[in-house]
Amino acid sequence: MPPGSVAEALRVQDKLRPLVDLAGPGPTAPATVAGLDVAYAESGDRLAAAVTVLDARTLAVVDSAVTVGRPAFDYVPGLFAFRELPALLDALDRLTVRPDLLVCDGHGLAHPRRFGLACHLGVVTGLPAIGVGKTPLVGEWDEPGPRRGGWSPLRDGGEVVGRVLRTRDGVKPVFVSVGHRMSLANAADRVLALTPRYRLPETTRTADRLCRDVLAAASG
């Protein structure tokens, strides 16, 4: 069951944070990679969580699952995972295959307490996981090189918590961080392998499309 208060959510993070596996490097040639994303109704009281599993080599979708439900927690920066986690886990349970890597829409270690959504999902599922955020939550960085592959370290409190990575020439960079059972360098490599054409990973894009479609269909 979801936490009933901010204080309780913080205690949950404190308890789970030590379980994050930072040994890495994690799979460098995964067979399948999963993307997870959530779409919200305008009213904000309903959501659809989607997981798509892609063949890591062809990027074709080989499995997927969706769940319609309600946000499990108010949106609080730093406690974002509690909002979407139940629905995402429900969707993951409906998959027929076990993906080799989870690519989450949000941060992993690039979090005020080093336990963002990607860490949380990784610990709970036991699967290797990384976070790919579109905007920063914590940290400082220098502008990465302008071409695809350019990157710079994301630093916070004296430590490197992620990488600011340019996935396409001339586009805004994304924020990559480790979630669970992955090294940062491998995480960045996996993201580049998932962005042959667009700024965001194909995993994120396919999951985004799926949950939006389902939400629209469920709305009428």
Partner DNA sequence: GCGACAG
Partner DNA sequence: ATCTTGTCGC
Among 40, 85, 33, 88, residue whose Cα is nearest residue 66: 88
**Quick one: which of 73, 111, 188, 195 contacts DNA (CB under 7 A)?**
111
Among 112, 132, 150, 110, residue whose Cα is nearest residue 34: 132
Q: Which is nearer to DNA, 39 or 53 (CB)?
A: 39
Q: Which is nearer to DNA, 69 or 78 (CB)?
A: 78
Q: Which is nearer to DNA, 38 or 101 (CB)?
A: 38
Rounded to the nearest angstrom, the gap between the alpha carbon of residue 101 and the centroid of all alpha carbons in its chain is 10
Is residue 151 a contact residue for DNA (CB under 7 A)?
no
Q: Interface residues for DNA in 23-82 (CB under 7 A)? A: 37-40, 42, 44, 75, 77-81
What distance in Å separates the CA atoms of residue 27 and residue 14, rounded to the nearest whole number? 27
> Is 37 annotated as contributing to ligand binding?
yes
Is residue 105 a contact residue for DNA (CB under 7 A)?
yes
Kindly state the smallest distance separating residue 29's Cβ from DNA, in Å: 27
Is residue 130 a contact residue for DNA (CB under 7 A)?
no
Kindly state the smallest distance separating residue 94's Cβ from DNA, in Å: 20
Q: Which is nearer to DNA, 86 or 133 (CB)?
A: 133
**Quick one: which of 17, 148, 199, 212 contacts DNA (CB under 7 A)?**
212
Q: Which residues of the chain form contacts with DNA (CB under 7 A)?
A: 37-40, 42, 44, 75, 77-81, 105-107, 111, 116-118, 131, 133-137, 212, 215
